[in-house]
Structure 1
Amino acid sequence: MHLHQATPLIPSRALSLLAGRDVWLKMEAFQPPGSFKIRGIGLACQHYLHQGAERFVSSSGGNAGMAVAWAGRQLGVPVIVVVPETTSARAVELLRQENAEVIVHGASWQEANHYAQSLSGSKDAFLHPFDDPLLWQGHATMIDEVAADGCKPDVVILSVGGGGLLNGVVEGLQRNGWHDVPVIAVETEGAASFHAALQAGHTVELAAINSVAGSLGAKRVSEQSLRCAATHPIHSALVTDSQAIAACSRFLNDHRVLTEPACGASLAVIYDSHPLLAAFRKPLVIVCGGATVTAEQLWHLSEKR
């Protein structure tokens, strides 16, 4: 039994008319916990439960933490989620709704993560937000579903934070024999750890995250993401916070679906006709979702821009 749901693959009339090409959307925002994260985290939670784990420990106040909390409730396993002080009250409320014990610790995710790892005992399973092969294996199932639906895109557009989604999509493309389908990996300019790694030839730690797209706020991308770039065609794209926010607002109007700025980064490639798009006629956008965003938050972000 999978904890994730098979999500709709839909042609977007609005985006297709705007872009002058056949735009498809994989609607991961429709997953029960609000984002694609449940695919990999659900698989990992089931794996660790089978190995005897009696509690799940996570270090994310965003989509990953929500996925762990939701999976724990479904499986009847207690969950601790350690979140940094910057986590919104809304996110903490949602985590507690899933019966998770929430501990607020540290000024950054790195500090929360270190503390969460210190809490993890021999009967606990620690769920990393993005850097675990089990997560990539689970995330790859979204491409399995696209293939099963008989739709082969000529490019996949997705957002990159720590790289878990990128790693999973590349795994899915390759295991379906779609080595010829490249990926456009999108980041906001203030959270571009993958772009920096490509330029340096190795992973580097950003001095700070300066972006409203908090879910893209990994200071260092996973090593696996660089390995993916060496074995699969991947193009790095950068957008501004303003573009990501505007894309969320436009997508809400076009498709009646609320997404966070991290997801808006990918949608901005279509809405703002990014130059990389010119070479492709049938793009697939992973609408990765956003568990904690509200319409009011999006409105305030839009007003500030």
Structure 2
Amino acid sequence: MSLHIETPLLESRPLSMLAGRSVWLKLEAVQPSGSFKIRGIGHACVEHHRRGAKRFISSSGGNAGLAVAYAGRRLGVAVTVAVPETATERAKELLRQEGAEVLVRGDSWQETNQFALTLLGPGDAFLHPFDDPLIWQGHATLVDELAGAGCKPDAIVLSVGGGGLLSGVAEGLRRHGWNDVPLLAVETEGAASFRAAVDAGQTVALARIDSIAATLGAKRVCEQALRCAREHPVRSLLTTDLDALDACERFLADHRVLVEPACGAALAPLYQRAPELADFDKILAIVCGGATATLEQIRAWAGR
């Protein structure tokens, strides 16, 4: 059973003209839960359900929590989602729409996650937002779809938060023997835990997250993401909050799809014509999505 859908793959005329090269989009923003997260989390939920789980527990007020809530509703499994005090009212409303119990605890995701772990009882399954081999296996299906469509890019641009998407896409590339396709891993400057890990040669915890791209706000990336950077060609790119927000607005105008700043981060190098793209003729951008962003909020952030 699969809870995600095969998403559209299309060539972006506006971005191709701007970049002077062929730019393709994998539109994960149209997944049922609003983001790519349902690929990996849906796969993990199906497996835990098969093993007899009676409740799913999550520690995310963002896309991961929404994916767990959607999966639980589809599978008929109760869901409890712990969210930090910074979670937006829209995020909590969307979680409740999916039938999830929402508990507000902690000032940061790390505190919320520790609280969520205390809820675990017999018959419960914990769904980590990004650090789980089952999740990486699910995310790898994105590359299966590219291969099925005969679309092998010269490079793939994606956002990095905790590293789950990067880990899954790298697994999918290995599966299809596409080890020559580099990943351009983009973070905002205030949430660059992957860059910090690459520079240090080991995962390190950021002192704080200073970025409006909240869903990129993992203080430490998973070990698997750093392992992927050692075993696969991965380039770390940084962008600013303002460029990520600008990319959200421009992408909405170009493609009539609203994405959150964490997704705008991956689009920003394309809109800003980053020099790191010059080596590639055919680029695929993963439009990872984001259900909790609103245009008003994006414009308010940009105004700040």
User: What interval of TM-score do these two structures reach, taking the shorter chain for normalisation?
Assistant: over 0.9
Task: Specify the code of the residue in structure 2 equivalent to 1:62.
Answer: G
Query: Within 5 A, what are the aligned runs for 1:48-127?
Result: 48-127=48-127
Which residue of the partner structure matches residue 251 of structure 1?
Answer: 251
Which residue of the partner structure matches residue 135 of structure 1?
Answer: 135
Task: Specify the code of the residue in structure 2 equivalent to 1:272.
Answer: Q
- How far did 1:275 drift? 1.4
- How far did 1:53 drift? 0.5
Which residue of the partner structure matches residue 197 of structure 1?
Answer: 197
Query: Within 5 A, what are the aligned runs for 1:270-281?
Result: 270-281=270-281
Query: Within 5 A, what are the aligned runs for 1:146-161?
Result: 146-161=146-161
- How far did 1:302 drift? 2.5
- How far did 1:297 drift? 1.0
In the alignment, the residues of structure 2 paired with residue 72 and residue 159 of structure 1 have an alpha-carbon distance, to the nearest angstrom, of 26
Task: Specify the code of the residue in structure 1 equivalent to 2:92.
Answer: V
**Normalised by the size of structure 2, how large is the TM-score?**
0.99
- How far did 1:303 drift? 2.4
| Secondary structure of the corresponding residue to residue 22 of structure 2 | coil
Task: Specify the code of the residue in structure 2 equivalent to 1:142.
Answer: L
Following TM superposition, the consecutive aligned residue runs of length 4 or more in structure 1 with deviations greater than 6 angstroms are none
In the alignment, the residues of structure 1 paired with residue 286 and residue 245 of structure 2 have an alpha-carbon distance, to the nearest angstrom, of 17
In the alignment, the residues of structure 1 paired with residue 270 and residue 235 of structure 2 have an alpha-carbon distance, to the nearest angstrom, of 15
In the alignment, the residues of structure 2 paired with residue 109 and residue 264 of structure 1 have an alpha-carbon distance, to the nearest angstrom, of 21
Task: Specify the code of the residue in structure 1 equivalent to 2:111.
Answer: E
After superposition, give the CA deviation of every residue in 1:144-201 in whole Å (9 maximum; x if it has no partner).
0011001110000000000000000000111011000000000000000000000000
Query: Within 5 A, what are the aligned runs for 1:143-292?
Result: 143-292=143-292
Task: Specify the code of the residue in structure 2 equivalent to 1:162.
Answer: G
Q: Which moved more, 1:67-76 or 1:291-300?
A: 291-300
| Secondary structure of the corresponding residue to residue 42 of structure 1 | helix
Q: Percent identity?
A: 66
After superposition, give the CA deviation of every residue in 1:186-222 in whole Å (9 maximum; x if it has no partner).
0000000000000000000000000000010000000
| Secondary structure of the corresponding residue to residue 212 of structure 1 | coil
After superposition, give the CA deviation of every residue in 1:239-258 in whole Å (9 maximum; x if it has no partner).
00000000000000000000
How many residues align? The count is 304
Task: Specify the code of the residue in structure 2 equivalent to 1:28.
Answer: E
- How far did 1:300 drift? 1.4
- How far did 1:68 drift? 0.1
Which residue of the partner structure matches residue 44 of structure 1?
Answer: 44
In the alignment, the residues of structure 2 paired with residue 144 and residue 297 of structure 1 have an alpha-carbon distance, to the nearest angstrom, of 35
In the alignment, the residues of structure 2 paired with residue 144 and residue 176 of structure 1 have an alpha-carbon distance, to the nearest angstrom, of 8
In the alignment, the residues of structure 2 paired with residue 184 and residue 153 of structure 1 have an alpha-carbon distance, to the nearest angstrom, of 12
- How far did 1:118 drift? 0.5
| Secondary structure of the corresponding residue to residue 153 of structure 2 | coil
- How far did 1:122 drift? 1.9
- How far did 1:126 drift? 0.1
| Secondary structure of the corresponding residue to residue 210 of structure 2 | coil
Task: Specify the code of the residue in structure 2 equivalent to 1:25.
Answer: L
| Secondary structure of the corresponding residue to residue 93 of structure 1 | helix
Task: Specify the code of the residue in structure 2 equivalent to 1:63.
Answer: N
Task: Specify the code of the residue in structure 2 equivalent to 1:297.
Answer: Q
In the alignment, the residues of structure 1 paired with residue 189 and residue 220 of structure 2 have an alpha-carbon distance, to the nearest angstrom, of 14
Which residue of the partner structure matches residue 25 of structure 1?
Answer: 25
User: Where does the alignment leave 5 or more consecutive residues of structure 1 unmatched?
Assistant: none
- How far did 1:295 drift? 1.6
Task: Specify the code of the residue in structure 2 equivalent to 1:2.
Answer: S
Task: Specify the code of the residue in structure 2 equivalent to 1:186.
Answer: V
How well do the aligned residues superpose, as a CA RMSD in angstroms?
A: 0.6
**Normalised by the size of structure 1, how large is the TM-score?**
0.99
In the alignment, the residues of structure 2 paired with residue 151 and residue 44 of structure 1 have an alpha-carbon distance, to the nearest angstrom, of 27
